[in-house]
Chain A
Amino acid sequence: MPENNLLEMKQIEILFPGVKALDKVDFSLRAGEIHSLLGENGAGKSTLIKCLTGVHRMDTGTITLQGKEIHPQSPQHAMELGISTVYQEVNLCPNLTVAENIFVGRQPMRHGQIDWRTITKRAKELMARFHLNIDVSRPLSFYSTAIQQMVAIARAVDIKAKILILDEPTSSLDDNEVQLLFGVMRELKAEGMGIIFITHFLDQVFAISDRLTILRNGHLVGSFDISEISKVELVTQMIGKDMNTIFNLRRADVAPDAPFMLTASHIGAPGQVNDISITLKKGELIGFAGLLGSGRTETAELLFGATRMTSGQMELDGKQTDIKKPYDALMRGMAFCPEDRKRDGIIGDLSIRENISLAVQARRGFLHPLSLKEQNRLADKYIEALGIATPDAEKKIGELSGGNQQKVILARWMATDPKVLILDEPTRGIDIGAKAEIQRLMLEMCGNGVSVIFISSELDEIIRCSNRIIVMRDREKVAELDGETCTQEKILSIIAEGAATAGGEAQ
């Protein structure tokens, strides 16, 4: 089949100090193909991509683009060669307008001045091609992450790319937005572009890609046509283990007479959510289902005091409580792993040890420091218990992979022995092994009497773990379902009901 290969990477080898990041990996991409690149964190996906985009220099191997050997020196150079990349974290300038973001660095000029009219016009046309009718003269930060992602793709596509690399583009999108993105991907594919798609969502792999390549521990496992492989086989190949054994989880047992741990009645805050009532028993796990922006995160933030509630009451462990700020919640035995762990969770430049002991230390106050010995004991305990992959506790948290960062944040809160633990999208953007691990930990904590609120966009996760499921829509609680009997279809239909009545509304 090599006749119409757009891109060919052969025998790529990259050495990092002490490890072989890639060991003789082959990869090929045809024109007009969507090719998924799969593997767990640390399997070498990003290393391979970074090698292609000129971030890492390869030690051996060749890259051929349309029959010509290339040596990308920098992302800029790769872009000039026709290789564009859109990363998971949108790396555009939030303070510039949409149009400026699309054309920055290559502004069309007229009479020695920037031709704003053309910029606006072309930006509008480009966004229309993505079926987005948005005001391109608004700053990028005005729009949701999904739209920002689209703008990033629009920019990449407009640079006459031959190859488009999408690195986890869907991890912050909801279903509709994913469909929108897929539509665009199909159009680009029809135009003959080669697309490399990296994701942790296996359903999406099967929905969109033509071929897939699996990496494991820096080795090539193989390339398959999508029709050749089943989901179960794929997972087995990726992690080298059977999927059923890793997802062998059991829902938490809640005694019928278990006391109420948390009772929130009619809580709300302007611009956040309205009139939410929740009860949570000791040792129970409830799931929050709903689309992005349905009020899941807002409710969690209200409960934890990250935003201040203006109406309603809360009872914690049978006592009326008034939580004004996260510190109050911490002192009353609550814990919260935020949705955007990069922005709101990790303290990037501090070590794993410091990150793990942070909340415990905050509860003690800075005048009663944990000794280095105690900090090391905490860190070592949780590094082992959660299986955090690191050589030692002094490594900066910012240098860990997403899954391991999430485990450190989880450890930070587990170390405080919380009564109520709120987890907002704890499994987003991490590989399937780490996902299963985090769900197992969650349920284990329930077994120890901790009450857990679990927020996730992945319904199968919610259904697998929850005792009860709260469905949110348009910033309101619309249903409360029993976890045992609930199905994905039921949740989806409840969410869709609202979409039908409120349909046609622009984003």
Chain B
Amino acid sequence: MKKRFDFSTLARSKVTWAVVAEALILLVCLFVRPDFFKISYQPTTGMLYGNLIDIVNRSSEITIIAMGMTLVIALGGTDLSVGALVAVSGAIALKFLRWDVTIYNTPGDYTVYPFILVLFVPLIVCTLMGLFNGFLIAKGDIQPIIATLILMVCGRGIAQILTNGKQFTTQYSPFRVIGQGSLFFLPMPIIITAVVIALVVLFVRKTAFGTFVEAVGINRKASRLSGINAQMIIFIVFALTGFLSGISGLIYSSRIMSNDSNNAGLNFEMDAILAVVIGGTSMTGGKFSLLGTVLGSIIIRTIVTLVYYFGIASEATMAFKAVIIAVVIVLQSEPVRNYFAKRGKAKAMLANGGMRG
């Protein structure tokens, strides 16, 4: 289908305004620090360094979770348990990274359990926890925000129990690769995130899954009457979100080479929801944009970077972040978008001699 460039459609899209917001924030960063966009190569680690790389790298955990959160929100729900699942995932991974204390008494490059368990058990457990959410919501007809509140509250408790309330550390090098390694000159989290985004987008958009999610999110009853198995869609979406939280948890704990049941993934659910909203997906469900969400997550991280650059006192950080987010959200609001769309249209009409509806 051919489509002519149309400013007003572009101005009406929330994703457009997310791009504008990101560009503005980066511009401010550049103003504060002229060398902001500089990227350098560090031969000792084989990695590229720079602010832009760092922003994308540090946004990985949220981006991965927000992929799942996008689908959850498209269904008309929210998943509050993702942050707690990050903690669970880290706790399980570190549990399997114990070593034989009768031989070594300091952390080092050793473990008793095979590394495969370190990777897969956390992911399986998080997927099961996602399924538990899905079960409550699909079968029990409990509102998602309530159903996922259960694991949000008790998830961290489970993580504490698993590690006996202790903070373990490790120096096992294969585990370090996940959060601190590199591939193709880029930090490993960026590579993992790129693979996750690609797989989720393929799964959602190359099959009819995305359409079914939208249909169920817009009108669950009509979808069911059209023969869509709405319950199964809900199960898959929540299980997927649990699984992605697990991946995020592995990256997080690999960065600190430790588990931290109290702080790992803290407030991740809020950042993930925010990323989805900035990315242009409505909280009422329905149409969604995965790439918008990626952008949303990067915007959030860029704001944090900006805060550091301004040298703002740490106690004012949150307030500052909130102000910028408020501006971004207002830029994306319906009246503002319509205002620009109309102005664009008027200009186009003048330019074309005034004869286009």
A binds B: yes
Name the CB-closest residue of A to B221. Answer: A344
Q: In the assembled complex, how far is the CB of residue B258 from the closest CB belonging to chain A, in whole angstroms?
A: 40
Interface pair B212/A350, CB less than 8 Å apart: no
A327 and B229 form a contact (CB under 8 A): yes
Q: Say if the beta carbon of B167 comes within 8 Å of chain A.
A: no
Instruction: Report yes or no: A363 in contact with B215, Cβ–Cβ below 8 A.
Output: no
> CA A338 – CA B219 in complex, angstroms?
14
Which 7 A-B pairs give the minimum distances between C-beta atoms?
A330-B227, A362-B227, A18-B357, A366-B208, A369-B208, A17-B357, A366-B209
Instruction: Indicate if B337 sits at the interface (CB-CB under 8 A).
Output: no
| Chain B 185-222 interface mask (CB, 8 Å, partner A; 1/0) | 00000000000000000000011110110110011011
Q: Which residues of B contact A329 (CB under 8 A)?
A: 227
B208 and A361 within 8 A (CB) = yes
The smallest beta-carbon distance between A301 and chain B, in angstroms, is 9
Asked if B226 and A359 make an inter-chain contact with CB atoms under 8 angstroms apart, the answer reads yes
Is A378 engaged at the interface, CB distance under 8 Å to the other chain? no
A367 at the interface (CB under 8 A from B): yes
Chain A residues lying within 8 Å of B316, measured Cβ to Cβ, are none
Could you name 18 residue pairs across A and B whose Cβ atoms are closer than 8 Å?
A: A18-B357, A325-B229, A330-B227, A338-B222, A343-B222, A344-B221, A346-B219, A347-B219, A349-B218, A354-B215, A358-B223, A359-B227, A361-B211, A361-B212, A362-B228, A364-B208, A366-B211, A366-B212
Q: Is B286 an interface residue (CB 8 A)?
A: yes
**A385 CB, min distance to chain B CBs, angstroms:** 20
Beyond A18-B357, A327-B229, A359-B227, is A370–B219 a contact (Cβ under 8 Å)?
Answer: no
The size of the chain B interface, using a CB distance under 8 A, is 22
- Give the A-B pair count, Cβ closer than 8 A: 83
Is residue B95 within 8 Å, beta carbon to beta carbon, of the partner chain? no
Interface string of B39-53 (1 = CB under 8 A from A): 000000000000000
Specify the chain A residue showing the minimal Cβ separation from B213.
Answer: A366
Provide the residues of chain A in CB contact with B347, threshold 8 Å.
Answer: none
Interface residues, chain B, CB within 8 Å of chain A? 206-209, 211-212, 214-215, 218-219, 221-229, 286-287, 357
A358 to B214, CA, bound (A): 11
Is the CB–CB distance between B207 and A358 below 8 Å?
no
- Name B207's contact: one of A344, A346, A367, A412 (CB within 8 Å): A367
B223 touches A347 (CB 8 A): yes
In this assembly, does A345 line the interface, its C-beta being within 8 Å of a C-beta of chain B?
yes
Task: Give min CB distance, A506 to chain B, whole Å.
Answer: 30
State whether A348 and B215 are in contact (beta carbons under 8 Å apart), knowing that A338-B225, A358-B228, A362-B228 are contacts in the complex. Answer: no
- Contacts A17-B357, A369-B206 given: A350-B211 contact, CB under 8 Å? yes
Min C-beta distance of A325 to chain B, whole Å = 8
Residues of A within 8 A of B219 (CB): 343-344, 346-348
Q: How far is the CA of A325 from the CA of B229 in the complex (A)?
A: 9
Measured between beta carbons, the chain A residues less than 8 angstroms from B206 are 369
Of A325, A330, A347, A368, the residue contacting B215 (CB under 8 A) is: A347
| Cross-chain contact A327 with B227 (CB below 8 angstroms) | yes
Additional A-B contacts beyond A347-B218, A366-B209 (8; CB < 8 A): A343-B221, A344-B222, A347-B214, A347-B215, A348-B218, A349-B214, A358-B226, A370-B208
Q: Which residues of A contact B229 (CB under 8 A)?
A: 325, 327, 362
Q: Tell me, in angstroms, the Cα distance from A369 to B222 when the chains sit together.
A: 20
CA of A330 to CA of B227 in the docked complex: distance in angstroms?
6
Q: Which of B214, B219, B227, B229 has the most CB of A within 10 A?
A: B227
Neighbouring B residues of A366 by C-beta, 8 Å: 207-209, 211-212
> CA of A70 to CA of B190 in the docked complex: distance in angstroms?
63
The minimal Cβ–Cβ distance linking A17 to chain B, given in whole angstroms, is 4
Do B221 and A326 touch across chains, with their CB atoms under 8 A apart? Answer: no
Instruction: State the CA gap A280–B22 with chains docked (Å).
Output: 63
Residue of A nearest to B219 (CB): A347
Q: Cβ of A336 < 8 Å from any Cβ of B?
A: yes
Any B CB within 8 A of the CB of A306: yes
B-contact bits for A17-58, CB 8 A (1 contact / 0 none): 110000000000000000000000000000000000000000
Bound CA span A159–B88, Å: 59
State the CA gap A346–B209 with chains docked (Å): 18
A344 touches B208 (CB 8 A): no
A331 to B229 CA separation, bound complex (whole angstroms): 12
CA distance A362 to B215 in the complex (A): 11
> Closest CB-CB distance, B229 to chain A, in whole Å?
6
With the chains together, A336 CA to B227 CA distance in Å? 10
In the complex, what distance in Å separates the CA atom of A304 from the CA atom of B208?
24
A205 to B299, CA, bound (A): 59
Residues of chain B with a CB closer than 8 A to A368's CB: 207-208
Mark interface residues in A353-390 (1 if CB within 8 Å of B CB, else 0): 01000110111101111100000000000000000000
Is the Cβ of A306 less than 8 Å from the Cβ of B214?
Answer: no
Contacts of B211 in A (CB 8 A): 350, 354, 358, 361, 366
Knowing A17-B357, A369-B208 touch, does A350 contact B228 (C-beta < 8 A)?
no
Instruction: State the CA gap A354–B214 with chains docked (Å).
Output: 10
CB distance from A336 to the nearest CB of B (A): 6
Contacts of A348 in B (CB 8 A): 218-219
Residue of A nearest to B229 (CB): A327
Q: Is the CB of A358 within 8 A of B215?
A: yes
How far is B221's CA from A338's CA once the two chains are assembled, in angstroms? 11
Query: Contacts A17-B357, A354-B211, A367-B207; is A326 near B227 (CB within 8 Å)?
Result: yes
Q: Are A344 and B225 in contact (CB under 8 A)?
A: yes
The residues of B that contact A359 with a CB separation of less than 8 Å are 226-227
Chain A positions within 8 Å of B218 at CB level = 347-350
What is the CB-to-nearest-CB distance from B282 to chain A, in angstroms, rounded to a whole number? Answer: 9
How far is it, in angstroms, between the C-alpha of A370 and the C-alpha of B212 when the chains are bound?
13
Query: In the complex, what residue of chain A is closest to B287 when comparing beta carbons?
Result: A349
Find chain A residues with CB under 8 A from B224 CB. Answer: 306, 325-326
A369 surroundings in chain B (CB, below 8 A) = 206-208
Chain B residues with Cβ below 8 Å from A349 are 214, 218, 286-287
A348 to B212, CA, bound (A): 13
Taking CB atoms and an 8 Å cut-off, the chain A residues in 108-127 that contact chain B are none
Rounded to whole Å, the gap between the CB of B281 and the closest CB of chain A is: 12
Q: Kindly list chain A residues whose C-beta atoms are within 8 Å of the C-beta of B208.
A: 361, 364, 366-370
Which B residue's beta carbon lies closest to that of A363?
B227
- Chain A residues with Cβ below 8 Å from B227 are 326-327, 329-331, 359, 362-363
Query: Closest chain B residue to A364 by CB distance?
Result: B208
Which residue in chain A gives the minimum CB-CB distance to B284? A349
Alpha-carbon gap, A224 to B324, bound state (A) = 62
Q: Who on chain A is nearest to B209 by CB?
A: A366
- Give the complex CA separation of A24 and B225 in angstroms: 44
Contact residue among B209, B212, B225, B357 (Cβ-Cβ distance under 8 Å from A326): B225
Residue of A nearest to B282 (CB): A349
Contact call B212/A347, Cβ cutoff below 8 A: no
Chain B CB within 10 Å, residue with most, of A17, A343, A346, A369: A369
Q: How far is the CB of B341 from chain A (nearest CB, A)?
A: 12
Contact in complex: A326, B226 (CB < 8 Å): yes
Judge whether B222 and A347 touch: CB under 8 Å: yes
Given contacts A344-B221, A369-B206, A369-B207, are A350 and B226 in contact (CB under 8 A)?
A: no
Contacts of B221 in A (CB 8 A): 343-344
B residues near A412, Cβ cutoff 8 Å? 226
Shortest Cβ distance from A343 into B: residue: B221
Which of B206, B209, B215, B286: most chain A CB closer than 10 A? B215
